[in-house]
Amino acid sequence: MSELVTLAGIALKTSLLIVAAALLSLALRRQSAALRHIVWTSALALCVLMPLAMRLLPSHTIAMLPAHASTLPLPRTQGMEWEWILIVWMLGGLFFLARELLSSFGLARWRRQAHALKSPRWTATLAKFDCRVRVLESRHIASPCTWGVLTPVLLLPSAGDAWSEAARHSALLHELAHVQRRDTISALISRIACVLHWYNPLVWLAAAHARNLQERACDDAVLRAGATPSDYAQFLLDVAARMSGISRPNQSAIGMAHSSLRARVVAILDPGAMRSQAGRTPVLASCAVLFTIAVLLGMASVETAPEPPPAADPPTLPELPPLPAPPAPAPAVPALPAVPAVPAVPATPPAESPKS
């Protein structure tokens, strides 16, 4: 299998895996956002592992192409053209990796500009929670945000000191739900998948769905704690209005008011929405389905049929002695020149004898 065929196989199999996750999420549309978020995150994690699965799992042929198919338009991709394809893929991956690093640098700058929590109102509200993360305060942000995998950081806006107690309580519930759910790990998985498969728009759509469902799951945690849906929705709209100046690379850390806000408000105000946490049995069943599909896709392969052996040569006849050469033709005798005809001499009459 040529390199181009391998790359096309990875793109096709990851696309089919994303389609399977979409169908599974559609079947679970009545379930909680937390469960559907796990479905999409699992699909993205399996997309990251798909190239490795294709290399390590045993291959099983599911389709056989005719032998002449290998001569159809791929022959020149074995040389310089494949090298250019690899260079383009690497450049695209480096571009999106640089964008993620830029976002990380922005968060690091926020952390350097922050200071220890001094707001008495934030301190009073935070005392109601069993908070085991590092809490900082900054005047450069308009909404609480959290990040960090090993050492989570909770950054609170200084402007939140003027919010109502209910607003501060809801904001802390939302951010601490991210920490409890370990959403920084799922966000990291989404970013890695987008960097590896940057050329596949379905992977980007899956990452966007996972990010939106992640925020909706934290919204459900706030509502389960007793927040009024209309007040909480209005709070999100107010926060989003104050965050218009935040640069796009840094908005990923402040998903509270930047992840499909309209759909989130509709879900918050939906009285029939299920807001429970993801149960263990549905999670295991959903992950098992996606894992089985990923394994089957990783093992599936398409090969070309072997060319038929050449036909046997016909039996050779014994070599006959060469035929004698035909005699050389006799040289032609040149024709004699024609003798001109001698004109006939007219006969003379006989002389008369004298009479006696």
CB–CB of 38/209 below 8 Å?
no
User: Angle 302-304-305 (CA atoms, 0-180°, nearest 5)?
Assistant: 125
- Residue type, position 337, single letter: P
Residue 4 CB neighbours (<10 A): 16
Residues in the chain: 356
Q: What is the pLDDT of residues 56-112, one digit of tens each?
A: 888 877 765 565 544 444 444 455 566 787 888 889 889 999 998 888 888 888 888
The predicted model scores a pTM of: 0.77
Q: What is the pLDDT of residues 6-19, one digit of tens each?
A: 788 899 999 999 99
DSSP line for 284-335? HHHHHHHHHHHHHHHHEEEEEPPPPPPPPPPPPPPPPPPPPPPPPPPPPPPP
Using only C-alpha atoms, what is the Rg of the chain?
Answer: 44
Q: Comparing 323 with 202, which gets the higher pLDDT?
A: 202
Within 8 A by CB and 6+ apart from 82, the residues are 2, 3, 4
Q: What is the pLDDT of residues 280-299, one digit of tens each?
A: 999 999 999 999 999 999 99
Q: What is the pLDDT of residues 238-248, one digit of tens each?
A: 888 776 545 44
Q: What is the pLDDT of residues 241-281, one digit of tens each?
A: 776 545 444 444 555 555 578 889 999 999 988 999 988 99
Q: Residue 300 is encoded by which pair of tokens?
A: 């599936």
